[in-house]
Amino acid sequence: MIVVGTDGVPEARKMVAEGKLTATVAQDPAKIGARGLELLVNAVKSGKKIAVDQEPKFETVDSILITK
């Protein structure tokens, strides 16, 4: 059975090392926050109006897959 967790916390990293968890994804909160802030600033500077019912655009931020 393949089991993967998120956040890459120390407990999950230990379980991966012990073979109890297949992998964990280490997210980078600083990068996530910085990208969100960058998008916000760009939106404010552009002055572009966005309809309330507009489908949201998804942004991705690279993460690290820990498997050992």
pLDDT digits (tens, 9 = 90+) for 5-16: 988 899 999 999
The string of pLDDT tens digits covering residues 22-53 is: 999 999 999 999 999 999 999 999 998 888 89
Identify the bridge partners of residue 25 per DSSP, sorted by sequence position: 6, 65
**Cα–Cα distance measured from residue 58 to residue 56, given in angstroms and rounded to the nearest whole number:** 6
18 vs 57, more confident: 18
User: Residue 18 pLDDT more than 90?
Assistant: yes
